[in-house]
Amino acid sequence: MNTMGLQTISSICQNNNFSINGKIGYFSSLGEMILGDSIDLLSNLDDNSIDLVITSPPFALQRQKEYGNKEQYEYVEWLSQFAHLVYRKLKENGSFVLDLGGAYQKGVPVRSLYNFRVPIKFCDDIGFHLAEEFFWHNPSKLPSPIEWVNKRKIRVKDSVNTVWWFSKTEWPKSNIKNVLTPYSERMKKLLENPDKYYKPKARPSGHSISDTFSNDNGGAIPSNLLQISNSESNSLYLRHCKLLGIQGHPARFPEKLPEFFIKMLTDENDLVVDIFGGSNTTGFVAERLNRQWISMEQSLEYVATSVLRFIPNDYSIENIKKIYNEIMNNNFININSRINQNELFEIIKTEITSPNKRLAHRRLSAARATGG
């Protein structure tokens, strides 16, 4: 893997004592999963250092969830604490992508407006620009809320989340050529024989379609409606969870969602951060796309469980248990060479919680520098 990214992210951490203030769960040459409060962890990163923050925070739901969520009335202010820090830490051409689900008001079939107050707050008070709103349609989402959809049948299934793309300036880094979609069958026919299927002319809408419309650009421009099913019942992550008899994170988003934005808004070796790491889908996708990454999560159990995404399918249950338990016991793990070499992870037996934290961090940096 690329060591340039490793050196950059290591310097970010060392210069700010980032990894010292948070407990490292595991790391690779490109990134690290850190246990701690993301408010504290973000504060220790350099200003203007992050290319993309993409995350899915706990939603403002009426029913308390095990992964933590705020009441609707206090949610906007709570989330704004993180947004203020994100704004400072983003590069001038950086982006902040926020996946937010909707909610109903308590006891009545009326929607809350909290997820619309969020972008107004972010833009009016913090200084963000709303580059574009996206809509993630999850066809596999179960009907909810049960009272209004299943029992009384007076509302339809809510299967769309709003994904807000905020930017620090009006001109964030972006390249839609990286996320083109396959052409439709009709478009493929047009490209094969444009004279038969297409005549350049003005449309009734007033749009003038030129002969360049028949150029093959490698794919179609995607829309802001992203249809991505969130049904990974047989994923490697959940298979490993099942082997260990532990529950996976209950609010995971699918890999294709962060993949779309990471491809569109960053280049290789750029730094991608997830401030509500959860099962670390973002870090896993960033690693695969050769981006540097930092994921932050305040639950030790979720940090330990998220490493299961990175463990090859042919590992024995004994080895998987050993890796999981090491993280649960506050030891940190280098996942980089083990993923590539199909052998048991090397466990670095240093307690992050020991008094000599700086020695632990120097050992971590030395391990990175040697690729081990």
The domain locations on the chain are 3-181+225-369, 182-220
Catalytic residues: 56-57, 99
Higher pLDDT, 230 or 259: 259
Task: Give the CA distances from residue 11 to residues 32, 42, 274, 365, 368, in Å, rounded to whole numbers and listed in that order.
Answer: 13, 15, 19, 9, 11
Task: Give the CA distances from residue 104 to residues 70, 145, 155, 337, 347, in Å, rounded to whole numbers and listed in that order.
Answer: 14, 8, 11, 47, 46
Mean pLDDT across the stretch 308-333?
88
What dihedral do alpha carbons 66, 67, 73, 75 form, nearest 10°? Answer: 170
What is the rounded average pLDDT for all residues in the chain? Answer: 80
Per-residue pLDDT of 114-131, as tens digits, reads: 899 999 999 999 999 999
Assign a CATH topology to domain 3-181+225-369.
Rossmann fold (3.40.50)
Per-residue pLDDT of 68-118, as tens digits, reads: 445 666 889 999 999 999 999 999 999 999 999 888 888 899 998 989 999
Decide: 317 and 336 in contact? Cβ < 8 Å: no
Angle at CA of residue 266, ends 11 and 253, nearest 5°:
100
Per-residue pLDDT of 6-26, as tens digits, reads: 223 333 344 333 343 568 899
Its pTM stands at 0.81
Residue 124 corresponds to which tokens in the numbers above?
Answer: 């009016």
Share of the chain above pLDDT 90, in %: 51
- The dihedral built from the CA positions of residue 146, 147, 149 and 151, taken in this order, carries a sign that is positive
Q: What are phi and psi of 109, to 5 degrees?
A: -80, 55
Tell me what pLDDT residue 186 has. Answer: 74
pLDDT-based confidence at residue 251 (cuts at 50, 70, 90):
confident
Tell me what pLDDT residue 215 has. Answer: 66
Q: Does the pLDDT of residue 189 top 80, yes or no?
A: no
Tell me what pLDDT residue 270 has. Answer: 97
Residue 27 burial (CB < 10 Å; 0-12/13-18/19+)? buried
Q: How far apart are CA 3 and CA 147, in angstroms?
A: 53
Q: How far apart are CA 259 and CA 251, in angstroms?
A: 17
What are the strands of the beta sheet with 90-100, ordered from one edge? 225-227, 129-137, 160-167, 90-100, 50-55, 271-274, 292-297, 31-35, 23-27, 331-334, 346-351
Place of tokens 């923050």: 53
Q: What value does the CA radius of gyration of the chain take, rounded to a whole number of Å?
A: 22
Residue 169, CB half-sphere, CA atoms under 13 Å: how many? 11
Tell me what pLDDT residue 103 has. Answer: 86
| 191-227 per-residue burial string, b: 16 or more CB within 10 A, e: under 16 | eeebeeebeeeeeeeeeeeeeeebeeeeeeeeeeebe
Q: Does the pLDDT of residue 234 top 70, yes or no?
A: no
